Structure 1
Amino acid sequence: MRNKWWAKLLRIVGIVLMSLTAAFTLMGGAGTSCVALNPTGFGGKFAGIASFQWLWILFVLIGVAAGILGVRAVVLLIKGSKKAYRAAIIALLLGTILNAIHMVASRSLRGSSMPVDGVLYMNILTFLVFLLFRIPGIWKSVNFEKPVENEQTGKKAAVFSLVIVGVLTLTIQFVMAPTHTIDGINYANVWHVVMSIIGSVLILSGILTNIVKRFTPIDVKTLWAVK
């Protein structure tokens, strides 16, 4: 039953969506650190949150944690672990609640909430998709809590996820430029070297995963050991 082509496609789509959501959440949490640590900088654009600096520090810490939980969920989804679906839902719920609070706080204190909105909407979209997966007729074929019968499905999901997230990592500074450019400086590009290295490694890992005969998702044993 789970060998149906549409079930394989949905499984891959779900894993890729979860990968993108985890990446957005992780980068959103890490990116907030600039404002959290220096709210009165950046031309005073974020001065309104200075009195609530502690809250923005929490946004950073919890955002990074939610992103890491999302990455863990992706690995479990690829493996078909019995804890995979629950791990994904927990990560998505945490990301949704966190970014909803972040969005409301930002709009209230500084009059704008971008790019938090995008991270929130991505979490909501993926959360809704995963809820749809629980429809009995779909779940019977997609069931993320069982190892996929065709190893190539998991391999393709890992390859697509690695490459797409890698491309996102390499281009995020351009995507976020409209909301991160202050006084002519694109602050989304301050980690250019680090992001370039990470993005390149992810894409290379995806390519290598695609060509190796024996599939070892993400080729990171420490992640693969997650139960």
Structure 2
Amino acid sequence: MSSRSLFARFLRFIGIVLMGLTGGITLLGGIGTTCAALFPTKYESMAALAPFQWLYILFVIGGIAIGVWGIWATIKLVRGTSDSYWMSLQALIAGVLIGEFHIYMSRMLRGKSMPVDAVVYTTILTLAIFLIFRIPYLWQGVNFARSDTKSNLPAGGAAAIMLGLLTLTIQYTMGATHTWNGVNYANAFNTAMTVVGVGLLFLGAGIFVSVSRVWGTASRLAVQHESA
């Protein structure tokens, strides 16, 4: 399979978008664990976590670190660097291992683990897709190191827009698992989330605009070359 084929580009698009979403969700999950990590005794359903507060603080740090790691890996995938695939794989494996341990501890201590489950299941899905990419026939085309930034930019733009939408709606999508005594703590950082979400939307839109201009210029040059 050629790395320039439509199918190869489609697979890279899916991989980049999934990796970007996974990194973003993991980052948001790490931030979202802050309430349980810092103030477990403040909420009745989290009181059982108090003896392991130190561990949940580590989960926060780990979630944020792996989320940033995943986002950086996504940027490398878009750029088509030689280490982009392996960095993505490492971030995903780390996310699954730490996430599964997080789920185990939460279920053991308080009987449930949402919304960590959603983060881990998303990571597992992305990891599975990236492992499938290594099938020799597929890898001939998917190999991110053989791709160019220009062809990967639309995927980067799509990932930014989807992350922006997720950030702007996090207080609704995670409200059910972050509401105690009538207070939706998923809405605790509303201003910051709004700024970041809108910024990501503009970033994604800007990428699409720049790509369309580049493609338009390339088309005009091709026509001029054929006419010459």
Q: Which sections of structure 2, spanning at least 5 residues, go unmatched?
A: 216-228
Give the structure 1 partner of residue 225 of structure 2.
none
> What percent identity do the matched residue pairs reach?
42
Structure 1 ranges of 4+ moved more than 4 A: none
Give the structure 1 partner of residue 130 of structure 2.
130
Going from structure 1 to structure 2, the CA distance change for 1:6 and 1:147 (only over 3 Å counts) comes to closer
- What is the CA–CA distance in structure 2 between the aligned matches of 1:36 and 1:179, rounded to whole Å? 15
> Which structure's residues are more often helix, by fraction?
2
Give the structure 2 partner of residue 12 of structure 1.
13
- Kept in 2, the 8 Å contact 1:18–1:88? The answer is yes
TM-score, length-scaled by structure 2 = 0.90
Give the structure 2 partner of residue 82 of structure 1.
82
- Kept in 1, the 8 Å contact 2:3–2:146? The answer is no
- What is the CA–CA distance in structure 2 between the aligned matches of 1:72 and 1:214, rounded to whole Å? 24
- Kept in 1, the 8 Å contact 2:161–2:204? The answer is yes
TM-score, length-scaled by structure 1 = 0.91
Q: Which amino acid in structure 1 is aligned with residue 92 of structure 2? A: L
Give the structure 1 partner of residue 94 of structure 2.
94
Secondary structure at the counterpart of residue 3 of structure 1 = coil
Q: How many residues align?
A: 212
**Alpha-carbon distance, 1:152 to partner:** 4.1
Q: Which amino acid in structure 2 is aligned with residue 201 of structure 1? A: G
Give the structure 2 partner of residue 222 of structure 1.
none
**Alpha-carbon distance, 1:177 to partner:** 1.0
Give the structure 2 partner of residue 28 of structure 1.
29
**Alpha-carbon distance, 1:174 to partner:** 0.4
Give the structure 2 partner of residue 159 of structure 1.
157
Alignment of 1:129-148 (within 5 A): 129-148=129-148
Larger displacement relative to structure 2 (132-141 or 180-189): 180-189
Q: Which amino acid in structure 2 is aligned with residue 195 of structure 1? A: M
**Alpha-carbon distance, 1:109 to partner:** 0.3
- What is the CA–CA distance in structure 2 between the aligned matches of 1:80 and 1:22, rounded to whole Å? 18
2:74 counterpart of 1:58: no
Q: Which amino acid in structure 2 is aligned with residue 36 of structure 1? A: A
- Kept in 2, the 8 Å contact 1:12–1:153? The answer is no
- What is the CA–CA distance in structure 1 between the aligned matches of 2:97 and 2:16, rounded to whole Å? 21
CA deviation map 1:35-66 (0-9, x unaligned) = 11111012x21010100001001101111110
Q: Which amino acid in structure 1 is aligned with residue 134 of structure 2? A: R
Q: Which amino acid in structure 1 is aligned with residue 119 of structure 2? A: V
Give the structure 1 partner of residue 71 of structure 2.
71
Alignment RMSD, CA only? 1.2
CA deviation map 1:56-107 (0-9, x unaligned) = 0110111111001101100110011000001000100111111100000000
Secondary structure at the counterpart of residue 45 of structure 1 = helix
Q: Which amino acid in structure 2 is aligned with residue 47 of structure 1? A: A
**Alpha-carbon distance, 1:146 to partner:** 2.4
- Kept in 2, the 8 Å contact 1:46–1:110? The answer is yes
- What is the CA–CA distance in structure 2 between the aligned matches of 1:30 and 1:187, rounded to whole Å? 12
Q: Which amino acid in structure 2 is aligned with residue 34 of structure 1? A: C
**Alpha-carbon distance, 1:18 to partner:** 0.3
